[in-house]
C-alpha cells in the first residue's frame, strides 16, 4: 500500500499538555511518526513517498478563514504578548457569556477557537498541521488516480478539529479536507468511518447538515470519555443530513467481539448509502495498552479490522488519527494495513 509521510509533521513538538491537573509531556508526540514509519518499513507494507504541497485552498473549503488565520499567527502573538510558556487557553465563551464577539487579545482568541485545554500551541504547530493535511491530500490523490488504497501518516491528527475549533491534539480536520476535495472532484457521496477510540466530533460537526458525506464513529461513550459533549447515539444529522451521521458509543472496557459488531453495522451503512470513496480515520488508541483510552482491542484484532474495512471494495484513503501506546502503535497500524491488503 502506498504510504505518505513528511518529516515536517514533526515540526510540532509541544512541551506541555494539561492532563490530570498536571503539565505533562504530550502524549501526541513526534516520536509517534517515527515508530509507525519504522514498523511499516520493517513489515514491508509499501513504498513511502513525500507529499506534494496543496496550499490553503482545501483547508478553507472546510475550515473558517479567521480560524485558519488565528492558527497561523497564534504562536507569534502569544510570544509578542510576553507569555513564557506554550499557548494554553484558560477561559472560554461558555454558556453564561457571549460568543458573538471575538476578542482582540490572543488569550481571548485562544479560548474562542479552542474546544479544550489539552492542546498547547507551540512553535511549529501550524507548519506541522499544514504538512499533515498535505500528507492526507497526497494519499487521496494517489487513490483517486490509481484506484488503489493509500495510507497517510498524518500528524497532528485531525478528527477533533471542527470548522473553527482546535483541540484533542487536532488543528486541521484531515479526513474532512480529503472528503470535501473528493466531492469537488466529482464524487457524489463520501463515507468517513472513524475508528479512533475518541468520538470524531469535528468531522461530525463539519458535515452534520449534509447528505454528501456519511460520517460514522465507533468510540468510547461520551458519558464517560473525551470529548464528553458530543458523540451520543441520538445525534443522527440534521436537515438534509438527517440519517447521514451515525454514532456507535461503547462503554469503557469494550473488547473486539463487541466492537466488531458495530463495525459491521457501519460497513452495511456505507453500502446502503452508496458512497464511492471510503476515508478511514484510523486511531489505534482502541488498543488495550493505550495510556489514555479504555477499550480492550489486542494487536491481532487490528489485522481483522483491516480485512473487514477492505471487504467493502471501495477506493480507500486511510488516515492516521490517535494512538499513544508508543511501542505498539506501529505494530497495530501495520496490522490494519496488512489486513487491508489481504
Ligand atoms: N485527561 C486523539 O486521539 N485528552 N485525540 C483526554 C485525558 C484528549 C485524543 C483527557 C484526548 C484527545 C486524536
Ligand atoms: Zn483518539
Tell me which DSSP letter residue 197 carries.
S
Residue 92 falls inside a structural domain? no
The 10s digit of each residue's pLDDT in 158-217 is: 999 999 999 999 999 999 999 999 999 999 999 999 999 999 999 999 999 999 999 999
CATH number at residue 172: 3.40.800.20
Q: At what angle do helices 106-113 and 65-80 cross, to 10 degrees?
A: 140
Tell me how far the alpha carbon of residue 54 lies from the centroid of ligand 1, in angstroms: 28
Residue 69 falls inside a structural domain? no
pLDDT confidence band for 108 (50 / 70 / 90):
very high
Q: What is the mean pLDDT of the chain?
A: 98
Residue 298 falls inside a structural domain? yes
Residue 75 falls inside a structural domain? no
Residue 161 falls inside a structural domain? yes
Which H or E run includes 310? helix 299-310
For residue 31, the model assigns a pLDDT of 98
Tell me how far the alpha carbon of residue 159 lies from the centroid of ligand 1, in angstroms: 11
The 10s digit of each residue's pLDDT in 180-190 is: 999 999 999 99
215 close to 244: Cβ distance less than 8 angstroms: yes
Query: Which mutation among 22, 114, 160, 200 tests ligand 1's pocket best, with the greatest number of atoms within 8 A of CB?
Result: 160
Quote ipTM for the complex. 0.97
d(CA 333, CA 230): 26
Domain range for 169 is: 2-58+123-341
Tell me how far the alpha carbon of residue 247 lies from the centroid of ligand 1, in angstroms: 18
For residue 176, the model assigns a pLDDT of 99
Residue 106 falls inside a structural domain? no
Q: Which ligand is nearest to the CA of 227?
A: 1
Q: Which ligand is nearest to the CA of 287?
A: 2
**Grid cell for residue 260:** 466488531
d(CA 283, CA 5): 16
d(CA 277, CA 339): 19
Residue 230 falls inside a structural domain? yes
pLDDT confidence band for 260 (50 / 70 / 90):
very high
Tell me which DSSP letter residue 285 carries.
T
pLDDT confidence band for 110 (50 / 70 / 90):
very high
Average pLDDT of the segment spanning 293-317: 98
Q: Which protein residues touch ligand 1 with a CB less than 6 Å away?
A: 19-20, 118, 157, 160, 168-170, 196, 198, 226, 283, 285, 292, 321-322
For residue 91, the model assigns a pLDDT of 98
Residue 95 falls inside a structural domain? no
For residue 119, the model assigns a pLDDT of 98
Annotated catalytic residue 232: no
For residue 322, the model assigns a pLDDT of 98
d(CA 281, CA 218): 10
The 10s digit of each residue's pLDDT in 119-145 is: 999 999 999 999 999 999 999 999 999
**Grid cell for residue 77:** 502573538
- The total of structural domains in the chain comes to 1
Catalytic entry in 5, 142, 159, 160: 160
Amino acid at each position: 500500500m502506498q504510504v505518505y509521510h513528511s518529516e515536517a509533521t514533526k515540526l510540532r513538538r509541544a512541551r506541555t499538555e494539561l492532563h490530570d491537573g498536571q503539565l505533562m509531556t504530550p502524549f501526541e508526540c513526534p516520536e509517534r511518526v517515527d515508530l509507525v514509519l519504522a514498523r511499516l518499513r520493517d513489515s514491508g507494507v509499501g513504498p513511502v513517498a513525500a507529499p506534494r504541497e496543496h496550499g490553503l485552498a482545501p483547508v478553507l473549503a472546510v475550515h473558517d478563514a479567521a480560524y485558519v488565520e488565528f492558527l497561523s499567527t497564534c504562536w507569534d502573538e502569544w510570544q509578542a504578548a510576553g507569555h513564557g510558556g506554550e499557548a494554553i487557553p484558560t477561559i472560554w465563551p461558555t454558556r453564561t457569556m457571549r460568543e458573538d464577539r471575538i476578542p482582540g487579545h490572543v488569550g481571548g482568541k485562544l479560548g474562542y477557537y479552542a474546544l479544550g485545554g489539552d492542546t498547547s500551541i507551540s512553535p511549529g504547530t501550524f507548519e506541522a498541521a499544514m504538512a499533515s493535511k498535505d500528507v492526507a491530500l497526497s494519499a487521496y490523490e494517489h487513490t483517486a488516480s490509481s484506484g488503489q488504497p493509500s495510507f497517510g501518516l498524518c500528524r497532528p491528527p485531525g478528527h477533533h478539529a471542527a470548522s473553527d475549533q482546535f483541540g484533542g491534539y487536532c488543528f486541521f480536520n484531515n479526513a474532512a479536507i480529503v472528503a470535501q476535495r473528493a466531492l469537488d472532484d466529482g464524487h457524489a457521496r463520501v463515507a468517513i468511518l472513524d475508528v479512533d477510540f475518541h468520538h470524531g466530533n469535528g468531522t461530525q460537526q463539519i458535515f452534520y447538515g449534509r447528505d454528501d458525506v456519511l460520517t460514522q464513529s465507533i468510540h468510547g461513550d461520551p458519558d464517560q470519555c473525551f470529548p464528553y459533549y458530543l458523540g451520543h447515539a441520538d445525534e443522527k444529522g440534521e436537515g438534509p443530513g438527517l440519517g447521514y451521521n451515525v454514532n456507535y458509543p461503547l462503554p469503557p472496557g469494550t473488547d473486539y467481539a463487541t466492537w466488531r459488531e458495530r463495525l459491521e453495522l457501519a460497513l452495511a451503512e456505507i453500502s446502503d448509502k452508496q458512497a464511492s470513496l471510503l476515508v478511514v480515520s484510523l486511531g489505534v488508541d482502541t488498543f488495550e495498552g493505550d495510556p489514555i483510552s479504555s477499550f480492550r482491542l489486542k494487536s491481532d484484532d487490528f489485522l481483522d479490522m483491516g480485512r473487514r474495512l477492505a471487504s467493502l471494495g471501495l477506493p480507500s484513503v486511510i488516515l492516521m488519527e490517535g494512538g499513544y501506546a508508543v511501542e505498539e502503535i506501529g505494530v497495530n497500524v501495520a496490522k490494519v494495513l496488512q489486513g487491508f491488503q489481504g
